[in-house]
Chain A
Amino acid sequence: MMKRTHKYFPILPVLVAYGALLGYGLFFPGKWQLVSQLAFYCTLGQAFNLFMGMTGYVDFGYVAFMGVGTYGMAISIYHLNEKGLGLSIILIGLSLAVAFSIILSLAVGAVALRLRGAYFAIATIGVNEGFRFLIEGARIWNGSEGIIFTRHMKKAFGKPAAMAIGTFWADIMMFGVAVLAAVLTLVYMRNKVGYALTALREDEDAAKVMGINVTKYKIIAFITSAALAGLLGATAWALKLQYVYPTDVFEIHYTVEAIIIVLLGGAGTLLGPIVGGLIYGISKYYLSIVLPGFQLLIFAPLIVAIIVLFPEGTVGILKKKVINTPLQKFII
């Protein structure tokens, strides 16, 4: 049995990695754009991994949760900007984002999480498309015209503050979401939730027979992952871009990117999404300079290659290498 303090040691490399990334952005001028991009991918992977990595279920409609989170922030700024609430609008927006994504995840999870493997994937693949068409079809939240709230942000916070939020503080908040996602993953892993999820990932029937309420734990992981996605959408998209169109935020390519990141790093590991996010982000950044428009064409075969040849991912392989070394307690 490991000591109580040792339980949460693996958070250290995560904090070091994010700290280094943040420091690189702060002290090297002109690199902030790249750093925020990389942090976005790490966060996306971390949030997605919490469900896919820990349960072994693929949610093809994941981006829908980011989409509704973005809308949560957008409508709170759009409607409340003249109330003189100051920065607390952002807090309201974040809670609205979490609320929206939790509601959607409950609605989807209530149906989809009763289903296994292939049926689960089938049920989720339409979530982002379905929700996008609901917004466009019933003209909810301005329908297909979207919400542009740059003006409203300036009215709410003043021009310099709105600029600073868009270019700097949104990214800092995104780092916060990243750390939150990592901490939650570790806490889950080291507690009953994580053990239950591991059991059900390996053999769901056996877990059920052993008396584990599998549906309950799946829903916990699903909702947590969705709420983190909502926060990511609210910070990385809404506050940064200051507009939201249904066609942009319900774009399935972000789900693809999340899958690539998690697989590159190693599904179900804590460090995996960070390693995967950095590898993916950096190679995408340079590929978009060298070969613009070819990123997916190169990454899609890569997914196949990883699944067939290295299903454990980078950190999964590393984890095996460091067993019985002092590094063991830092890498999971």
Chain B
Amino acid sequence: MLFEQLAGNLVQGLVLGAVYGMATMGLSLIFGVLQVVNVGHGAFIMVGAFTSLMMFQAMGIPPILAIPAAFLIGMALGMLFYFGAVKPLVSPSGSGIKKMTPKRLGAAAGMFVGLMILMWISSGFFSLNIAIYLFVGIIFLYGFALYIYGGRRQDKAPELATLLATFSCGVILEEVVKQVFTSEARGFNWDIGKIDIGITVLPYTKLVAAFGSLAIAVILYMWFNKTRAGMAMRSVVEDDVGARVCGVDVDWQYALSFSLGIGLTVTSGVLLTMFIPVGINPYMGGPYTLKAFVIAVLGGLSSPYGAFFGGVVFGLLENGSYTLFANIQGLEPFAMTRFFSFVMLLVILLIRPTGLLRAK
């Protein structure tokens, strides 16, 4: 009885693990190239989930077809946060204060007015209130200050700075989404039938999500190994000074890999909604951040493929432990599984911080 239950849950875990792996590849890519841990990881998954939800509800587009849109949204967000928050910390090029000439001030004022008018027009779509204008105004002033100040060389603890910056980016996203969509949990139902494989029943949506993840992982692998652009990015992972000497534009590779990583993460949010299409809310990302860290550490933290296999291992362990906890009296299996993933993180960090699969 227990064995059958376990076997069924392990199959589910294998399928879910593929999606988990996909959801962590972005994190590992960003760490591998920039040595930045994206602490706001879960918030980007949440953006993907909302993209999927909105496209399904407003336009009737099935989640699998929302992937390109989610990827583009993710790339755009990645670029935005890279230039706004991460770049001044990791590559302090162009430091030094620029003069505030009337021309620069005039251009800034013009852009500010234009932005406000744009917001005013687009307020027909979402009910914007005065606070959103204030927020956008603050962001704009920040951008202008950043332009005038340039990147400022960090004397100490750049790691601390990037951790806090990515963390804040996650909080910003959560709060913006909360203002637009409120914090209530939403869900949708995309039903395309299910298949009975004897020990368990798998809906086709889950299988599509798992194979979609696998396909994306394979495409990424091909891109990294067969194309010049992919090899350039890999060279930065190996040795960024060496890559610079060989003529690779390292600054641009930083920007590209950050936005590619965010793009992958947002895409994985879409795939995750095919598994769990309910409970979509602005703060849903937190548990995924924790899971992604466990998986990334399992896979060696700086290798996207390691992350993919780490995801599969984690999916199996998670569902296996759920089955065991569910058979012990007096425990709440769901909460205990979450606790188990945290303990696993500590144990792996303690005994094998380079990852179980020894990547690279």
- Spell out A's residues near B (CB within 8 Å): 52, 56-58, 60, 108, 111-112, 114-115, 117-119, 121-123, 125-127, 129-130, 133-134, 136-139, 143-144, 201-202, 252, 256, 259, 263, 291, 293-294, 296-298, 300-301, 303-305, 307-309, 311
Contact = CB atoms under 8 A, between A and B. Distances in A.
B165 A308 contact: yes
A139 B85 contact: no
B289 interface: yes
B110 interface: no
22 contacts: A60-B167, A111-B346, A111-B349, A112-B349, A118-B159, A129-B287, A130-B342, A133-B342, A134-B335, A137-B339, A256-B167, A298-B134, A301-B135, A301-B138, A301-B168, A303-B164, A304-B168, A305-B142, A305-B145, A309-B145, A309-B146, A311-B154
A143 B161 CA distance: 36
Interface in B266-300: 286-287, 289-290, 293, 296-297
A144 B331 CA distance: 12
Interface string B77-91: 000000011001100
Contacts of A125: 39, 289-290, 293
Interface in B135-157: 135, 138-139, 142, 145-146, 149, 152, 154, 156-157
Which 5 pairs show the lowest CB-CB distances between chains A and B?
A130-B342, A137-B335, A137-B336, A297-B175, A300-B171
A308 B85 contact: yes
Contacts of A52: 160
Given A114-B350, A118-B159, A291-B131, A126 B37 contact: no
Contacts of B176: 297
A240 to B, nearest CB: 25
B338 A303 contact: no
Nearest to B296: A122
Given A300-B172, A308-B89, A122 B349 contact: yes
A118 to B, nearest CB: 4
A158 B241 CA distance: 71
B134 to A, nearest CB: 7
Contacts, number: 168
A219 B145 CA distance: 39
B236 interface: no
B168 A201 contact: no
Contacts of B249: none
Nearest to B294: A126
A256 B342 CA distance: 20
Interface size of B as a range: 35 or more
Interface in B290-349: 290, 293, 296-297, 325, 330-339, 341-343, 345-346, 349
Contacts of A293: 178-179
B31 interface: yes
A301 B174 CA distance: 12
A125 B42 CA distance: 12
A229 B131 CA distance: 34
Nearest to A143: B332
B165 A307 contact: yes
A301 B139 contact: yes
Contacts of B296: 122
B119 interface: no
Contact of A304 (B85, B135, B335): B85
A316 B349 CA distance: 34
B331 A129 contact: no
B156 to A, nearest CB: 6
B217 interface: no
B311 to A, nearest CB: 16
Given A118-B31, A122-B293, A307-B164, A296 B146 contact: no
B37 A118 contact: yes
Contacts of B342: 126-127, 129-130, 133
A122 B287 contact: no
Residue among A118, A139, A201 having the largest count of chain B Cβ atoms under 10 Å: A118
Given A122-B37, A300-B175, A301-B172, A115 B353 contact: yes
A274 B85 CA distance: 26
B136 to A, nearest CB: 10
B152 to A, nearest CB: 7
A122 B297 contact: yes
Contacts of A123: 345-346, 349
B193 to A, nearest CB: 34
Contacts of B88: 308
A259 B172 contact: no
B169 interface: yes
Contacts of A308: 85, 88-89, 146, 149, 152, 165
B163 interface: yes
Given A60-B167, A118-B31, A293-B179, 14 more contacts: A56-B156, A117-B163, A122-B293, A125-B39, A126-B345, A129-B342, A202-B156, A256-B171, A291-B130, A301-B172, A304-B85, A304-B172, A308-B88, A311-B154
Contacts of B130: 291
Nearest to B351: A111
